[in-house]
Amino acid sequence: MYKSFLLSILAGLLLLACNSNPNAVEDYAYTNSLIHETSPYLLQHAHNPVDWYAWNDSTLAKAKRENKLMLISVGYAACHWCHVMERESFEDTAVAAVMNANFINIKVDREERPDVDQIYMNAIQLMKGRGGWPLNVIALPDGRPVWAETYVAKEEWKRALSQIQTLYEDSPERLVDYAARLEAGIKSLDLVQINRDEVDFSALKTDSIVTAWSSRFDEKDGGIAQAPKFMMPNNYHFLLRYAVETEDQELLEFVKLTLKKMAFGGVYDQVGGGFARYSTDMRWHIPHFEKMLYDNGQLVSLYSDAYLVDPNPLYKDIVYETLNYIEEEMTHESGAFYSSLDADSKSPDGELIEGAYYVYTEAEIDSLITDRPELFKSYYNINDYGKWEEESSYVLIRQETDEEFTAANNISQAELNGLKSLWKEKLGVYRDTRPRPGLDDKSLTSWNGLMLKGYLDAYRVFREPNFLRAATKNANFIKDQQLKSDGGLWHSYKDGKSTINGYLEDYAAVIDGFIAMYEITFDQQWLDLSKQLMKYAQTHFGYTDSRLFYFTSDEDAQLVSRSIEYRDNVIPASNSIMAHNLLRLGHYFDQTDWIKDAQTMLHNVLPEVAAYPSSFSNWLQLGRNFQNEFYELVVVGPEAEAVLAEINKTYIPNKMIAASSSSSDAPLLKNRFIEGETFVYVCVNNTCKLPVRTAEEALPLMGY
């Protein structure tokens, strides 16, 4: 339906990698209006010969006034194929001439404007059944899309632009008709049907859902049996919980396999710590080398929780190394976290090459690794298994556990640890002489919330003081810099300036992070701020009939559609996080209507859950809280911190914490403080068992 007459236009467009060289463009020979932006991605294009504009009211008005088609190109700073298309097409003066003559050319940073990205990503999904970045869209002057593609090689790109422009000049009514039908399709994606069945979460057959889901598991290398492989932390958070709660040892072993293989793979930076965005192959070996804040924040949380279930030293190493990477490379002096490191960096001849910073030739390894080089080559597979054939380089990958390796090579764990530290130091010092990948140094509020939660989860498990210091500094950054005078949030921060009205994802992640801050520090301000932000979101992001929130504020300019994000992806859907937040805040503040809203939200997405469990794993987490007892763990008294530290050594996913070392009027704490005494109350829906004094007494009351 949505492809019809455009098929003839699109037939020649193939997503083929192109090795042609772009015409040389002298630095700063051209400057367009993006020079006034702060987004690193937009600034990357500020000296293209293309007359780029940022997405804003004046640009949209210009398109309408001049009655020109809009060419909207969406990407992000760390995107490899975005760079390729820029070099091939957007730096080419002949291509720029075609674009400038016929289109209002708009560059969009998808991270700054996820609302715009979402609309046009929905459009390409409807047109082609797939998407990705760069996302290139041609839209009518009113913004309604009529054509979309991802990466396009230069000659195909010029041909497509000419064909669309000719169609617009000769038969504009055909494009208008197509745009209307596509608009209807986009809006239909945002409709959540009201579930008229009685709310009964026992009808959520989680066991059969997980059984069906498991048919897609890769039992050899973990993850889903497909390439590319994304890590999808919220999937494994749910599967870990479900395996523990149901004592499903086979499922637990699969989760542990996945965590091990991700940590062993090239998708994990074996030298500097931190994860790349995804693996291009089945065995987690060759990454798409960009490193995103949101992945690493969630994976720190996942590996921390997994350590409580299985105290594997590997998990602890991953958490510490990843947070060391975040501290050293991704943290501003204010406590804000940066967004990403680029996939590409410059080779010695100045060419941008994907992964150039991270890979090593065998000759480089031979010159650098002089301490037990034979062990290094075995440990990190400097052989056919670890070779990146395309580049004749090696991406470090492991196959054996340390226990297996030390036994096979007759060395102690202490000796191996010393060698690994030495090897990593030498490789790290060497690669730091190379041109570094580009840093996207804007700070996104939503991603900062995810990283804040990661630090707090790591502190909860490992009690490392540096983790709490970093979390506290970041929480104060969000409170002091990103909280607006009207009680809402800004979305982005860079160079001392907060910009862009916040999206639902900002409220969801920050509330989640602030609740975790309260549970660790007992500081009531974080809980009060969470409540304030929830009320603001309820006012400005408007409950729909399904009780789901819109993604954009009612104060934002209207787009083609006001979307509702409810399907979990690499990051859980903003609505699924908000439903969790409503449940917890409902208990904290005795707001039973908020708990009911969380139930209604879950109930209305249930019809899709069984068919697409990987896209609803955070909702499935919420479902477990309603299917089983959800504990309000209340600890009051001078030893509250010590008691909770002991309780937190146990994996208890179905709990929330209210705590104070002094008297408090908060609903869950009121009238429970007795001078000089510490008591632990285990409650369900405000019904509490008799108080006890120690963690050892409290844990059995929760079934542990």
pLDDT in tens, 217-244: 999 999 999 999 999 999 999 999 999 9
Q: Mean pLDDT, to the nearest integer, of 464-474? A: 98
Average pLDDT over residues 101-117: 97
Identify whether the C-beta of residue 492 lies closer than 8 Å to the C-beta of residue 500.
yes
pLDDT bucket at 583, cuts 50 / 70 / 90:
very high
Q: What is the CATH number of the domain that holds 649?
A: 3.40.30
pLDDT of residue 449 exceeding 50, the answer is yes
Show the domain range for 69.
4-189
Strands 103-109 and 52-54: what pairing? parallel
Judgement on whether residues 49 and 136 belong to the same structural domain of the protein? yes
Q: Within 13 Å, how many C-alpha atoms sit on residue 376's CB side?
A: 23
- pLDDT score of 340: 97
Take residue 336 and report the two structure tokens written for it.
């804000």
Decide: helix, strand or coil at residue 291. Answer: strand
Residue 27: the pLDDT is 63
- CB-neighbour burial class of residue 415 (10 A; exposed 0-12, middle 13-18, buried 19+): middle
Q: How far is CA 345 from CA 39, 270, 473, 547, in A?
A: 19, 18, 31, 45
Are 184 and 320 found together in one domain? no
Residue 598 and residue 661 in one domain: no
Unique residue bearing structure tokens 């939200």: 601
Provide DSSP, 87-143: IIIIT-HHHHHHHHHHEEEEEEETTT-HHHHHHHHHHHHHHHS---SSEEEEE-TTS
Q: Are residues 125 and 226 in the same domain?
A: no
* Residue 185 pLDDT greater than 70, yes or no: yes
Q: Tell me whether residue 196 is in a domain.
A: no
CATH number of the domain at 320, please: 1.50.10.10
Residue 411 has pLDDT above 70, yes or no: yes
Burial group, residue 654, by CB count within 10 angstroms (0-12, 13-18, 19+):
middle
Residues 294 and 410 in one domain: no
Last residue of a domain, one of 582, 610, 627: 627
Rounded to whole angstroms, the Cα distance separating 231 from 191 reads 28
Return the closest-CA partner of residue 595 out of 605, 581, 609: 581
Same domain, 496 and 619: yes
Query: Does 377 lie in the same domain as 331?
Result: no
Do the domain assignments include residue 473?
yes
Give the C-alpha separation, 351 to 141, whole Å: 37
Which residues have a Cβ under 8 Å from the Cβ of 350 and sit 6 or more positions away? none
552 has pLDDT over 90: yes
Phi, psi of 206 (to 5 degrees): -60, -35
User: Nearest 5°: CA angle at 285, between 282 and 290?
Assistant: 110
Q: Residue for token digits 């690499």? A: 570
Tell me the per-residue pLDDT of 297-353, one tens digit each, with 9 for 90 and over.
Answer: 999 999 999 999 999 999 999 999 999 999 999 999 999 999 999 999 887 777 888
CATH number at residue 136: 3.40.30.10
Phi, psi angles (nearest 5°) of residue 534: -65, -45
Q: Which residues pair with 440 in a beta bridge?
A: 340
Q: Which of 411, 433, 455 is the last residue of a domain?
A: 433
Kindly indicate the confidence band of residue 1, based on its pLDDT and cuts at 50, 70 and 90. very low
Q: CB within 8 A of 271, min separation 6: which ones?
A: 358, 396, 424, 427, 428, 431
Whether 195 is in a domain gets the answer no
Distance between CA atoms of 131 and 125, rounded to whole angstroms? 6
**Per-position b or e across 539-578, b if 16+ CB within 10 A of its CB:** ebbeebebbbbbbbbeebeebbbbbbbbbbebbbbbbbbb
Length of the chain: 704
pLDDT attached to residue 50: 98
Give the span between the Cα atoms of 537 and 627, in whole angstroms: 27
Among 433, 459, 474, residue at a domain's last position: 433
Does residue 293 lie in a domain region? yes
Please, where are the H alpha helices in 310-372? 313-329, 362-368
What percentage of the chain exceeds 90 in pLDDT? 88
- String of DSSP letters for 443-467: EEHHHHHHHHHHHHHHHHHH--HHH
User: 494 in a domain, yes or no?
Assistant: yes
Measured CA to CA, the distance from residue 188 to residue 545 in angstroms comes to 15
pTM to 2 decimal places: 0.93
For 658, residues 6+ apart whose C-beta sits below 8 A from its C-beta are 588, 632, 633, 634, 635, 666, 668, 669
Q: What is the mean pLDDT of the chain?
A: 93
Question: Among positive and negative, which fits the CA dihedral 642, 643, 648, 654?
Answer: negative
Same domain, 468 and 610: yes
Contact 625, 662 (CB under 8 A): no
Q: Note whether 343 and 437 are within 8 A (CB).
A: yes
> Same domain for 393 and 520?
no
Q: 3-class SS at 70? A: strand
Asked whether residue 282 is assigned to any structural domain, the reply reads yes
Contact 135, 121 (CB under 8 A): yes
Nearest residue to 524 via CA among 669, 392, 345: 669
Neighbour tally for 685: CB within 10 Å: 11
What's the rounded mean pLDDT across residues 433-448? 96
Contacts of 19 (CB under 8 A, 6+ apart): none
Q: Strands 497-501, 490-494: parallel, antiparallel or unpaired by DSSP?
A: antiparallel
312 and 296: one domain?
Answer: yes
Q: Is 244 found in the same domain as 214?
A: yes
Q: Has residue 417 been placed in a domain?
A: yes
* pLDDT of 9 higher than 80: no
Q: Please count the structural domains in the chain.
A: 4
**How confident is the model at residue 24, as a pLDDT?**
38
Domain match, 407 and 394 both: yes
Block residue for tokens 């040892």:
249
Residue 603 CB neighbour total at 10 angstroms: 23
pLDDT at 683: 96
- For β-strands 69-75 and 103-109, DSSP reports them as parallel
Give, in order, the Cα–Cα distances in Å from 596 to each of 194, 579, 584, 587.
Answer: 15, 10, 12, 11
Residue 349 lies in a domain: no
